[in-house]
Structure 1
Amino acid sequence: MPPVIEFTAPPLPHYIISGFSPIPAGGKHPSRKNIGAFDLLVVTRGCLYVGEEDRRYEITEGHALILRPDSYHYSYAECQEECLHYWLHFQILGDWRVIEDEEYYLHHGRYSEGEVQGYISPPPFETTPYTVALPQFTKLAQPKKLAEVIDELNEMSRHIHRAGVRLKQQALFQEVIILLSASLGSTAPSPQSACAERAASYLREHYREPFSAQKLGESINFHPVYIARCMQKVFGCSPSAYLLRLRIDQAKLLLIRTDLPVERIAEEVGFNQAAYFTASFTRMEGLSPRKYRQRFAWNKN
């Protein structure tokens, strides 16, 4: 299976140049090595036969391939008919890596039990980096939409001398990244993932209520043991640990945005005992609810 390209943002990927090219029957995509930029290929008709290092891809209509800037890519067969395709060069200025898709799906969206129990959230209102994943080779979820966006980028290049066009290009290019990223998640989720997501959705909606594994199972029509196994696999924690994290996160918002006493906040987010709330909050955040409020609440004077 093709790998996944994962990068940290900010900064966001930078658009360089793009175009639309026909390749006649018998023609090939050019072979190049270490070009220093990512090369996105989107086929709208025919098929391109392109390899990168030891992998070979048949890029047919509605599919896309991202060639890496640090690799050797080449054509391993001639086009059997005229091939129409878009090409787009971009650069990732921040950190990026290539991981196998099995590893990505294994770890995507998870955290370990230890991280759930001892996780310390970043301070509120602070900008924190996040990761974006792009499939290196994929059947596009919205091929026509992606073609329209690249067409618009190409048209903008004709007016690059006008003020503001470069900025508009960079902003529009982020739509390309969004469409590619959406294609990564377009495959149907596994039964375990579907169960875990349904359980998580139920817990997010009912986090103020007392937790009952039996009630959770009855609500989403799965056995509690199976739910626990699925949530452990997908989220890396049990349903009760997931619920605790939800309650603490909601408490943090109330501590910052309201003047409610700690005891009332504990009740609002589903804790029966304020002392247990304080102990849980301190263990997970590294400071007590009152100290958290003193550090992060807005100065209202």
Structure 2
Amino acid sequence: MSVIQFTVPPLPHYIASGLSLLSAGQKHPSRQNIDVFDLLLVDKGCLYMGEEGRSYEVSEGHALILRPDSYHYAVADCKEDTLYHWVHFQTSSSWSIETERCGEHFCSGDDRPGYMPASAFSTWTFSVPVPQFTKVVQPQKLSDTITELTDLNRSLHISGAKLRQQTLFQEVISLLSASIGMNGPSPQSICAERAASYLREHYKEQFSAKRLGESINFHPVYIARCMQKVFGCSPAAYLQRYRIEQSKLLLLQSNYTVERIAEEVGFNHPAYFTASFTKIEGLSPRKYRQRFAWINQ
């Protein structure tokens, strides 16, 4: 497995991101020396990519990082509709490609056993290994994090939004790095990912912890514990956040009333929807629409 070794600090930094859909028969563009790393995470379908003579089938739940100094290209058209996130990032520090393991870990620079900085005031750098191509251990969590990262592009005029993006991007790096050396996802991750997928698929329906447990064959108490560990929230809170994300799309892309949008995303009471939206976003649905609708015009 090829691993990209980043020497930090400074940390790799976020530049831009988005969500793209390729229909069957389309393919990812070919580019050379684009001067940024290009992370691809596939939510649905498969990308058939090549870089420097190596081919990759980036299917659902897999991630590929295309290098800034290489030629990458599509080796085949998509065989089905393919939905994927892309994230452009860069680092002002050194990085390298490692293909062999040194003991249990990749070793380079100041990570070497027994290494000490020249003085107490020297910068202590270390290496962060990130797989160039991997099956992601927590694909839904990574997808959610990138979605939040991209959604913040609408809020860059708000104080703290850019800092929040850089913080989220470090979480992206951590999630990718966690895929190295893993024989597979933990039982807790499997449970949480299945629960998240079910909630996203059935977000318009009334929430029932019992029905969730029956659907994915885990006890509701165990599901709640796993989701708290993996996503940092309960199943009900995860569902509410996802409903709010869907409502934001409708606020910007439709002429539906707030009451209609509340119903469309699974809220039974418009007043509760408005209160929940305001608590999470810091402004009401109507003010959100007024503030951001012009961006999509």
TM bucket normalised to smaller: 0.5 to 0.7
Q: Counterpart amino acid of 1:85?
A: Y
Q: How does 1:55-74 map to 2 (within 5 A)?
A: 55-74=54-73
Contact kept in structure 1, 2:98 and 2:106, CA below 8 Å: no
Over 3 Å counting, the alpha-carbon distance change for 1:28 and 1:9 in structure 2 is same
Contact 1:42 1:86 in 2 (8 A): yes
Amino acid at match of 2:56: Y
Structure 1 unaligned segments of length 5 or more: list them.
189-301
In the alignment, is residue 136 of structure 1 matched against residue 135 of structure 2? no
CA distance in structure 1 between the partners assigned to 2:8 and 2:180 by the alignment: 18
2:115 and 2:80 mapped to 1: Cα distance?
57
Q: Does 1:181 align with 2:180?
A: no
Matched position secondary structure for 2:179: helix
The residue aligned with 1:279 is none
Shift of the 35–121 alpha-carbon distance from structure 1 to 2, 3 Å rule, reads: closer
Q: Note if 1:151 corresponds to 2:150.
A: no
Name which one, 1 or 2, has greater alpha-carbon Rg: 1
TM-score normalised to structure 2 length: 0.57
Q: CA RMSD in A?
A: 2.1
Query: In the TM superposition, what is the alpha-carbon distance from 1:187 to its structure 2 partner?
Result: 2.6
> Could you tell me how far 1:98 is from its partner in structure 2?
0.7
Aligned-partner residue type, residue 4 of structure 1: V
* Partner residue, 2:3: 4
Quote the Cα distance in structure 1 between the aligned partners of 2:115 and 2:135.
38
- Decide whether the 8 Å contact of 1:4 with 1:104 is kept in 2: no
Counterpart amino acid of residue 78 in structure 2: C
Amino acid at match of 1:6: Q
Match of 1:249 in 2: none
Letter matched to residue 179 of structure 1: L
Q: Indicate the percent of aligned positions where both proteins have the same amino acid.
A: 54
Aligned length: 180
- 1:205-251 per-residue CA deviation (whole Å, 9 max, x = no partner) reads xxxxxxxxxxxxxxxxxxxxxxxxxxxxxxxxxxxxxxxxxxxxxxx
**For residues 118-129 of structure 1, what are the structure 2 equivalents within 5 Å?**
119=114, 121-122=116-117, 127-129=123-125
Q: Counterpart of 1:89 in 2: which secondary structure? A: strand
1:38 alignment partner in structure 2: 37
Q: What's the CA shift for 1:105?
A: 4.6
Provide the rounded CA distance (Å) in 2 between the counterparts of 1:28 and 1:144: 24
Offset, 1:109:
6.2
TM-score calculated relative to the size of structure 1? 0.56
Judged with a 3 Å threshold, the aligned counterparts in structure 2 of structure 1 residues 110 and 47 are, in CA distance, closer, same or farther, namely closer
1:164 to 154, 160, 172: 160
Moved over 6 A (4+): none
Report the alpha carbon displacement of residue 35 of structure 1 after superposing the two structures with TM: 0.2
The one-letter amino acid of 1:139's match is K
